[in-house]
């Protein structure tokens, strides 16, 4: 992996974009695709978390109000 990075840095410094584009292998494209899938999955999980938090807050407020306004005989 270090050899690949060294070669890529050398190509970038030399300004040879054609050779740099040739280095983008199928594995790199696959890795980028996997990262996009994971990013989308995390965004979906984040949305679910916000929805769950909002639902919890509504239920919490409902039970707080129920507790606060329950008649008590002293």
Residue 73 lies in a domain: no
- Residue corresponding to tokens 């979906």: 44
pLDDT surpasses 70 at 74: no
- Residue corresponding to tokens 């690949």: 4
Residue 46 lies in a domain: yes
Angle ∠(68,73,74) on CA atoms, nearest 5 = 105
Number of domains in the chain: 1
Question: Each residue of 4-58: pLDDT tens digit?
Answer: 778 777 766 776 566 656 666 777 888 888 999 999 999 999 999 999 999 999 9
Domain limits for position 39: 2-68
- Taking the CA atoms of residue 5, residue 6, residue 12 and residue 14 in that order, the dihedral angle to the nearest 10 degrees is -160
Q: For residue 42, what are its two tokens?
A: 């995390």
């Amino acid at each position: 992996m270090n050899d690949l990075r060294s070669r890529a840095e050398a190509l970038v410094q030399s300004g040879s974009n054609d050779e740099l584009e040739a280095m983008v292998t199928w594995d790199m494209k696959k890795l980028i695709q996997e990262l996009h899938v994971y990013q989308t999955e995390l965004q979906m999980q984040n949305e679910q978390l916000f929805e769950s938090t909002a639902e919890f807050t509504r239920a919490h407020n409902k039970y707080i109000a129920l507790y606060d306004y329950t008649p008590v005989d002293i």
